[in-house]
Amino acid sequence: MKPKIKITVQKKFTSKDVLGYDFKFTNGFVVKDCVHVKEGQEFIVGDELEMPEGFCKWAWIDIYRDVAVLTMGGTFADGDLTGTKYSCCSDGLKPVVFYLERIEE
């Protein structure tokens, strides 16, 4: 049985955080932060590596590789960060940072 991975929404950014101003489309729509997840929200990835229910599909595509490495027993750092990874979605106007951690059962 493979370990599970807990995904925690660490930080959401707005276009103002990234660019220094609120990005506005020509139709007047102002880009706010991500509407799919909330800071502090947690998701569990089972041993089938399926996207958790309610998770953003685009973010899943972006962080899937990191989740898979952790599931297979790989690591990105030693010491206190063994079995963890900070990863983020690739939305350049409103990125979201996720904290991934392997749950050993």
Q: Give the tens place of pLDDT for each residue, 14-43.
A: 999 999 999 999 999 999 889 999 999 999
Amino acid making up residue 76:
F
The predicted pLDDT at position 104 comes to 79
Write down the mean pLDDT value for the chain.
93
The predicted pLDDT at position 101 comes to 96
- Considering only CA atoms, which of 56, 45, 50 is closest in space to residue 12? 56
Which residue range is the domain that position 43 belongs to? Answer: 4-103
Phi, psi of 23 (to 5 degrees): -75, 130
Q: Is the pLDDT of residue 62 over 80?
A: yes
- Rounded Cα distance between 74 and 53, Å, is 24
Strand 4-12 and strand 96-103: the pairing is: antiparallel
- Provide the domain count of the chain: 1
Provide mean pLDDT across the span 77-88.
89
Q: Give the predicted TM-score (pTM) of the model.
A: 0.91
The predicted pLDDT at position 79 comes to 81
41-57 pLDDT per residue, tens: 999 999 789 999 999 99
- Considering only CA atoms, which of 22, 2, 20, 17 is closest in space to residue 88? 17
- Rounded Cα distance between 46 and 44, Å, is 6
In the chain, the DSSP E strands lie at: 4-12, 42-45, 84-88, 96-103
Q: How confident is the model at residue 105 (pLDDT cuts 50, 70, 90)?
A: confident
